[in-house]
Every structure is written in structure tokens, then in C-alpha cells.
Amino acid sequence: MNAIDSSTPSELVVVTGASTGIGRATARRLAADGFHVLAGVRTEAAAAEVKAEHVEPVLLDITDERQVAALADRVRGDRRPLRAVVNNAGIAVNAPIEALPLAEWRRQFDVTVFGQVAVIQALMPALLRSKGRVVNIGSTGGKVAMPAFGAYSGAKFAMEAVSDSLRREVEPFGVSVAVIVPGAVRTRLTERGGATSARLAEAMTPEQCTRYAGLMKAFRATTESWGTHGLDAAVVADAVSRAVHARKPRTRYTVGRDAAVMTRLTHLVPDRLLDRMVRRTMGL
């Protein structure tokens, strides 16, 4: 590889799920901060949209072992140290637990848990060499499981545990692990999740449709409100930037008033009372 001149960023950052929303905003912010960003996208069209100064798109489906291995080869072949891996790629599969096919449960966990673990495993050697950091994009769904969010919250709760375990394993070797916990954010993930939910609702039995009609109406109203009142993705990108730059990053960064309130309530409020508060929040 050619020598790096003084105008070239001296450190790499990997951002998965960078096609839109939080991932794209994070890639742009970290490039502006002075890093060379390897931005994971799933299509050539997305790569063309994301490409920018110091933002290098890489084709990356985190459930594809060959593409994850190719990313690790790209990092290993670069003389610059890997400062951080930002695990943002994810999907939202939402439906009542009774009515959600197991294949959809597996798809949710394959992307939001197993795919992220695959990226961490592949890039950990580089992070250990550079004493870098892992930044996992979490959610209030990983703190409070609302009705119809069972699969999504299950995966996000799982990543909370993975993040805690990983932090306790690798911090003695100089690798930090932080979780970003945003509240409602205006992103394409919410739109795609709504479309997925509508598809799943159409596959319910007549009895399930009757049983969960009120819940699915409340779910749609709740997610649509996020598109209107949610945070801009750039606010989350700011928190990621702080986690990447901090000499000793916090274990968690809560972003947004709703995230702060819901996270605190889980420690202060009995389960039955929290159940009522969640249902009231959704208009049930």
C-alpha cells in the first residue's frame, strides 16, 4: 500500500448499516471528524449515494460470512489502525408474539445479534492491535419491551448482554465497548419496520386479527409519531462521535429525553405499573 500523506486520515472507522439514517449520519460525522470511514452498505446504488470524501463504501451484508471476511481483509490490508467499529446495521420485525412466525424471529436475531457478533469477531484482532473500541447502537427497545416489539426488543436486550460481556472480556486488553441508547429517531428503519408489520398482520389468522386489531392500530400510530416527532439521526451521530473520541468512553450514552425517562423508569417503577404506563403511552 502506498504511503499515507499528511492530508489523509490516520485512523480507520467501520460503520455498518450506513446506507441511510443513523449509519449514514454517523459515517458523515466521523469523516468530518477526521477519520477514514469504511461504510457498510448492501447495494451498489447505496454505495454511490454514500461515497464522499473520506467515506469509502464497502458492500456488507453482515449475515454474509464472505462479505464480513472481505471487510476484515480490507482492514487488515490497511496500514492505518482501526479506531472503532460502529455496529448499526439492523432490522425491525414487529408483530404480536403469538402471530410472529419463527422464521421472522430468526431473521431478526440473525441480523441484529448474530450479524453484529460476526463483525465484532472478525475485527477484534485489529481492535486489539490498535486498542480501539466497539460502539453498538442500541435502543430503548433494549430496555423496555413494548407490546408487538417482542422480537425486536428481544434482539436488542440480547445485544445489551453481549455488550456487557464483551466489555468485561476485552477492556483489560485496552479495547473499550460502549452502547448508544437512542429514543425515537426519524429513520428509514421505522418505515421499513412498519411495512414489515403490515405484511405480517395480513398473514394472521382471523382470530388473531380480531384479538390484536387494537394493538396493531396503536403500534402503527406509535411508530408513525416517531417519524414526525423523533430525533434527527445527526443527534445520534453526535453521541457516537463522543464515544469514539473519548479517552475513556462511558459504557452507555442515552440520547433523547424519552430514552432517558424510559431507561430510568425500569429501575424505579414496579413491573405492573410500568405495564400500565407503556400501554397508556401507546394509547391502549
In the residue annotation, 253 being an active-site residue is answered as no
| Partners of 182 in beta bridges | 255
Q: Which of 35, 149, 152, 226 is catalytic?
A: 152
Number of Cβ within a 10 Å radius of residue 264: 12
Q: Return the C-alpha cell found at 163.
A: 455488550
d(CA 203, CA 233): 32
d(CA 96, CA 174): 42
Show Cβ contacts of residue 203 under 8 Å, excluding neighbours closer than 6 positions. Answer: 99, 101
> CA distances (Å), 193 to each of 34, 82, 95, 132, 197, in order?
33, 32, 10, 32, 6
Show Cβ contacts of residue 20 under 8 Å, excluding neighbours closer than 6 positions. Answer: 46, 187, 188, 189
Q: CB–CB of 86/15 below 8 Å?
A: yes
Question: Residue 20: how many CA atoms within 13 Å on its side-chain side?
Answer: 13
Q: Which residues are catalytic?
A: 152
